[in-house]
Structure 1
Amino acid sequence: MTQIWVLGAVLCLFGSAYADEVCYDGLGCFSDLPPWGGTKERPLAKLPWVPGMIETRFLLFTPKNKYYHEIKADAKIMKVTNYNKLKATRFIIPGYLEAKDEDWAQHMCKDMLKWDSVNCIAMEWKAGVRAPYAQAANNARVVAAQVAHMINFLMGNYKQTADKFHIIGHSLGAHAAGEVGRLVPNLARITGLDPVEPYFQGASRDVRLDTSDAAFVDVIHTDSLPFTKNKLGLGMSGNMGHIDFYPNGGELMPGCSKNSGSPSNLDGIWEGNVNFDGCNHARAYQYYSESTVKAHGFVAYPCPDKESFAAGMCFPCTGASCPLMGQSAIKFNLTSVPTGTKFFLTTGKKEPFGRYSYRAKVLLDGSVWPNPGFMYISLKGDREETESIQLHVGMLSPGFYELLINTDKDVGEIKEMTFQWNNHIFNPIKPTYSASRIELVRGKDNKTYNFCGGDRVGEKVIQSVPPCKT
């Protein structure tokens, strides 16, 4: 509340300030009363800053722009831009991240425009988000009002309708996107990229992102460990949208480590007093951005929980039950699965993150004497081929071996497979083995390929395994 008195002179230029409410011209009034403050979920009551302190910017990218245009809700400014009223418009609202990643929204717009002809508006509100956490959470309300004001301006000046707008928000920006949906009914879509947990989980639906905010709400969870000591998962857990994705279980992403510190020191996340590198939290927008150019690397499987998914119990897709996480999620028929279904998938440790999944079942033929060693297979398609994938390590003996495969290459239609084996230790008997049969099931559509091998091969010799002759 002290900040309101300090800023009193400035506020007189923009609106009126009260003990529990502040109003800004064109944006409306903001209260610090419940559900916005003074609740179990939001214990500190804070009013949002003056818009000028938040320093919000709208950066327009279009297929005709080499660089962005900074735009405002002003007809004269918009007239000299390449904004196309016939195209859909996407707003990207970032949340908190380290300085090295603060321009990711601009990069996402550029990626989108490689494949999609839209108006893409990257938001900035760096000053407003570099605040104590409770303050930043409330500053996001002003950002939402500014986006809503811009959308209303565009609809009024270009005769567009709300169903032409898609809001993509990360972290605090995800809940800001939800607030935009409350202020502008009938938005086409809101995408929540790891919506932040503190001050939002368990809070009123008026405060957080939920399914009432747009016709289609999709959510990607990447940092949903509990916000407790030495875990500090910043993202919300539990379903929030019409469709919720949990890559790698939704809690800890490959290539990232857990955050650590005390949950009582929320501001330490922003001030560097907590071990927080943002890796898990940032993966949500990294996955989404890649999905705009490699959609089929993010096939997600309906599954009751992460343990069942890890055990391979939800593989492969059947019918139309598997959506694509990211930009193409909206193509999924929600009526094909029960309400509340969770969707899981696997990603890589680094770019490219997308993975293409198969289940291989190999019938090994060879020496009946158990032999310690390794087995490898690879896939050859009409587009690319994979590197050798370890199928098994341990004792080799005739029988079936099965493995779920996740490769970073979209090889296309499988034309051939290869098999190779190595000894673990020198074997003077010099055994030979063959992949006499390989059944390969493609995850995205349950398509089955059958391959038949020939003569046995010695150690480190690559065996070609062609399709079986029908």
Structure 2
Amino acid sequence: MNALGLVVFVLVFGSSFEFFLNEGKKVCYGDLGCFSIDDPFDNTLGYLPESPEAIHFGLTLYTRTNSRTGVNLGYNDSASVARSSFNPNNPVKIIIHGYMANAYEPWVLNISSLFLKKEDCNVITVNWKNGARKIYPASAANTRVVGAAVAKFLEMLRNKHGVKMENVHVIGHSLGAQTSGYIGSRTPNMGRITGMDPAGPLFERYAEQVRLDPSDAKFVDVIHSDALPIEDAGFGTRKSCGHIDFFPNGGGHQPGCPPAYKTGVEELLTLRFNEAFLSVACSHERSYIYFAESLAAEPCKFTAYPCDSYEDFVKGTCNVCGDSPCPVMGNDAILSQSRRGNFYLVTNAQNPYCKNT
């Protein structure tokens, strides 16, 4: 096994002894229900989800009234919503971070701010920082509890505050994108999910109940920015999992990112696992950078084209969209929600990433 393979193997798989310890077991967390590792949820090498308290689950509301200082909400506390500036008539945007991250990452706060500049809405960030900083299979297991808690929160918004689920848009990165799928599967008629480079390891080869898929919302759009094999330090998935799947620069290594094999080894050997993950995650992070840029008031659009493969797209054999407008990657993908399939585009290597073609 080469050094890069060692980095990825340790970060993602760690030890699988938990499977033999927990086989057939389950955990229950009150109104969130019970969770087991029985088929089809046998994708976490035996790790069971931790409790909301253990993973430090939290919800923070931002509106135009309190755009800089968020207000904490309880997922099953209707009074906390009533006391806040939450407006049930406005769209609801829910942002979920991924592996080794938290809800106060600059990109989370930036997207929150951009949404509020663009429209009068309720932005809710989901924090599960303790649950996201475990060995990867344990964090993958924790996404189920996060999804259940957010779904319970949405149920309360619908039943107690009259929020229409069609007005809910969940935006998740990495494991947060897979979490979005769990939310959607528990929330009938949810409007939209945007998956920003959904995590591939321990999800890609499993049933739709385990991963994000088009049935999880009325419209599911996905940005693939790190869809390389795991042995090449790819943390995303090549599997199409939305109504529209965007593959910028082919969906693999993104221009401007350092080769993954040159990074991560030193951090791993000195047991700095968080730094090791971040050092090979440049392409993985590009998905939320592209989405944020799509929200900004820029004239350039991430126009994408239908094609059988990126190779054919590069050859210029499929740079038309027929009678319908070409879909745009990012926030405006909703304007092409009748389209289906895989779409390709190229970006610049640095900010601004949108490339006029």
TM-score grouping bracket, smaller chain normalisation: 0.7 to 0.9
Check if 1:354 corresponds to 2:354: yes
Q: Find the counterpart in structure 2 of residue 36 from structure 1.
A: 41
Per the normalisation by structure 2, the TM-score is 0.86
**Higher RCO (CA-CA < 8 Å; seq separation 6+):** 2
CA pair 270-32 structure 1, distance change in 2 beyond 3 A: farther
CA distance in structure 1 between the partners assigned to 2:324 and 2:300 by the alignment: 14
Residue aligning to 1:334? 338
Match for residue 72 of structure 2 among 45, 70, 73 = 70
Distance 2:125 2:102 in 1: 16
- Structure richer in helix, relative to its length: 2
The alpha-carbon deviation at position 34 of structure 1 amounts to 1.7
2:233, 2:280 within 8 Å by CA — same for their partners in 1? no
Aligned-residue offset at 1:217: 0.7
Shift of residue 276, structure 1, vs aligned partner: 3.6
Whole-Å separation in 1 of the counterparts to 2:192 and 2:103: 29
- CA gap of 1:334–1:125, structure 2 versus 1, over 3 A, is same
Judged with a 3 Å threshold, the aligned counterparts in structure 2 of structure 1 residues 354 and 200 are, in CA distance, closer, same or farther, namely: same
Quote the offset at 1:274 in angstroms.
6.3
**Structure 1-normalised TM-score?**
0.66
Deviations along 1:34-78, whole A, 9 cap, x unmatched? 2212xxxx3611111121110011111112213211111323322
Decide whether the 8 Å contact of 1:58 with 1:70 is kept in 2: yes
List per-residue Cα deviations over 1:246-305 (Å, max 9, x = no partner). 00111011111343489xx9xx89454568431100100111111112374211111221
Tell me the secondary structure at the aligned position of residue 330 of structure 1.
Answer: helix
Establish whether residue 344 from structure 1 lines up as the match of residue 344 from structure 2: yes
Amino acid at match of 2:249: N
Structure 1 residue aligned with 2:244: 243
Flag the 1:194–1:108 CA change in 2: closer, same or farther, 3 A.
Answer: same
Deviates more, 1:75-84 or 1:120-129: 75-84
Q: 1:212-291 counterparts in 2 under 5 A?
A: 212-228=215-231, 231-260=232-261, 270-272=273-275, 276-291=279-294
Unaligned runs of 5+ in 1: 4-16, 358-470
Structure 1 position 216, deviation (Å)? 0.6
Preserved CA contact (<8 Å) 2:201 2:230? yes
- Residues 156 and 2 of structure 1: is their aligned pair in 2 closer, same or farther, counting only changes over 3 Å? farther
1:79 is aligned, of 82, 95, 100, to 82
Partner of 1:61: 62
Cα gap change, 1:207 to 1:25, in 2 (>3 Å)? same
Are 2:315 and 1:314 aligned? Answer: no
Partner Cα distance (2:17, 2:33) in 1: 22
1:156 pairs with one of 154, 159, 162: 159
Q: How many residue pairs get matched? A: 331
State the shift of 1:97 in Å.
4.4
Identity over aligned residues, as a percent?
37
Q: Measure, in 2, the Cα distance between the counterparts of 1:207 and 1:61.
A: 30
Unaligned runs of 5+ in 2: 1-15
Q: 1:287 to 1:239 in 2, by over 3 A?
A: same
In structure 1, which of residues 287, 298, 312 is the aligned counterpart of residue 302 of structure 2?
298
Whole-Å Cα distance in 2 between the matches of residues 320 and 65 of structure 1? Answer: 40
Cα pair 1:69 1:81 within 8 Å, conserved: yes
1:342-385 CA distances to partner (integer Å, 9 max, x unpaired)?
Answer: 2111111222211211xxxxxxxxxxxxxxxxxxxxxxxxxxxx
